[in-house]
Structure 1
Amino acid sequence: MSPAVPTLDLESRLLGASPLVIGLDEVGRGALAGPVAVGAAAVDAGVAATPLPEGLRDSKLVSEKRRPDLAERTADWVRAGSVGWATPGEVDEIGILGALGLAGTRALLRLAEAGVDVPAGVVLLDGDRDYVSRPARDEFGALDVRPVVKGDRDAASISAASIAAKVARDAVMVDLHEQFAPYGWDRNKGYASAAHRQAIAEHGLTPHHRASWAIAPAAGLFGRRPVGS
């Protein structure tokens, strides 16, 4: 069975009453190391009247080799796009949902800096939990945020956000690999592969690991100086 193709059906319905729709999706939520990223993709009636970029899918359904080209074409298609970030330290300090809220707010702020009237739009958030309304309130006031289960698969604006965030975060992890090669971040992107866990057991944690997570034996967490510290 071929992968599900997202559509603009939901966005088109919402654009009947709103001037724009902003899709949000996160990447890196379950990783052991590296930042979390939230992509944002704004579409309006003009965008909705044009064909979707060929091959647009949830980033998990697109091969790593094809994602960068798709991300470029998708960036040209949307009205505006951005990626917001939260650091491993912020994950440790306020938890993963709090960090996702910060990253999502930062992505929306970047859209605003690009001239997007964020409060005028409807925000579609992949998943079943709204992690962005509360942290974004101080910046934008009350937003119309609507979680969409499997939105990265079904809603084109969220798929576009997913692709942008995935390509941007993968690039960060590949760059970090040059300094922290034993952990294999060029391959696992900070996720919990067997090789990554073995490297943690052998070398301890780096400053880019989420130290509050139970991700290594006690000797790795407490018995050794973190790599790169």
Structure 2
Amino acid sequence: MTVADPTLRVERTLFREGAALVIGCDEVGRGAIAGPVAVGLGVFLPDVRRMPSGLRDSKLLSEQRREELHPRVLGWAPHSAVGLADNAEVDHLGIVPGLGLAATRALEALVTQGVPVEAAVVLLDGSHDWLTPALAGWPESSRPHVITRVKADRDCATVAAASVLAKVHRDRLMIEADAVHPGYEWTSNKGYASATHYAAIDRIGASALHRWSWLRQPALF
């Protein structure tokens, strides 16, 4: 089945309706059993240029293609950030609050870059707004407006860009972690569940980077 490239139609509609900024938002690592969850944000202005050629949802791209696109996405988005919630935080809070924590950290990074996030519309992939509850502790005047769109990572270029930023950032972390905690094949599975990943846990025990409450056995370290 042919998958259409994402476009800027939704974003340009938001700009016509008065948005000063659009922030594409997507997460990676939700279903992993090791490592952090990551939320990528890409900031775009009304004069946004044509998206980088070949940009798609990160799940539809090879690892090599994501790496090739990554610097071009960084150059396309005037500001960007990736926020993380580590495995211990995911275990303690749960996955949805963990996503919210990672996203608020990414938004805080944008604020430090001087981005007026309170003037932004955040375009969030999916049907569930898990971000707005995470911002409950922020002054209402400083919160961005969040809208959800199913398949935004596939259809909306700004969200596809955010997905590439988050995926590349998290994958690099898991590759680095494989050198510290070898044996789980994180260079290939990036911490996601697989038969070989579970077999390694059965053989050598869980590491300090595993989501212990998600495993079939207690952590052994």
> What is the TM-score normalised by the length of structure 1?
0.92
**SS of structure 1 residue aligned to 2:123:** strand
Aligned residue runs from structure 1 range 7-22, under 5 A: 7-16=7-16, 17-22=18-23
Counterpart of 1:86 in structure 2 is 85
Structure 1 pair 161/140, CA: closer, same or farther in 2 (3 Å)?
farther
Q: Deviations over 1:130-168 (max 9, x none)?
A: 111122232352431111110100011100000000000
**SS of structure 1 residue aligned to 2:63:** coil
Counterpart of 1:129 in structure 2 is 128
Counterpart of 2:185 in structure 1 is 184
Counterpart of 2:168 in structure 1 is 167
Q: Deviations over 1:35-77 (max 9, x none)?
A: 0000001111121xx2110111000111101111201101101
Counterpart of 1:154 in structure 2 is 155
Q: Deviations over 1:191-219 (max 9, x none)?
A: 01111000011111111000111x22x4x
Q: Which amino acid aligns with 2:92?
A: E
Inter-partner Cα distance in structure 1 for 2:135 and 2:115: 15
Inter-partner Cα distance in structure 1 for 2:166 and 2:152: 15
Structure 1 alignment gaps of length 5 or more: none
**SS of structure 1 residue aligned to 2:25:** strand
Inter-partner Cα distance in structure 1 for 2:139 and 2:65: 35
Counterpart of 1:210 in structure 2 is 211
**SS of structure 2 residue aligned to 1:147:** strand
Q: What's the RMSD between the two structures over aligned residues?
A: 1.2
Number of paired residues? 218
Counterpart of 2:76 in structure 1 is 77
Q: Which amino acid aligns with 1:199?
A: A
**SS of structure 1 residue aligned to 2:52:** coil
Inter-partner Cα distance in structure 2 for 1:66 and 1:23: 20
Q: Using the TM superposition, give the Cα deviation of residue 111 of structure 1 relative to its aligned residue in structure 2, in angstroms.
A: 1.1
Are 1:119 and 1:140, in contact at CA under 8 Å, matched by a contact in 2? no
Are 1:137 and 1:143, in contact at CA under 8 Å, matched by a contact in 2? no
Q: Deviations over 1:56-105 (max 9, x none)?
A: 10001111011112011011011211100001011011100000000011
Counterpart of 2:57 in structure 1 is 58
Counterpart of 2:107 in structure 1 is 108
> What is the TM-score normalised by the length of structure 2?
0.95
Q: Which amino acid aligns with 1:10?
A: V
Counterpart of 1:36 in structure 2 is 37
Counterpart of 1:120 in structure 2 is 119
Moved over 4 A (4+): none
**1:4 maps to 2:8:** no
Inter-partner Cα distance in structure 1 for 2:154 and 2:47: 22
Structure 2 alignment gaps of length 5 or more: none
Inter-partner Cα distance in structure 2 for 1:66 and 1:73: 11
Which deviates further from its counterpart, 138-147 or 198-207? 138-147
Structure 1 pair 6/140, CA: closer, same or farther in 2 (3 Å)?
farther
Identity of aligned residues (%): 47
Q: Which amino acid aligns with 1:182?
A: G
Q: Which amino acid aligns with 2:106?
A: A
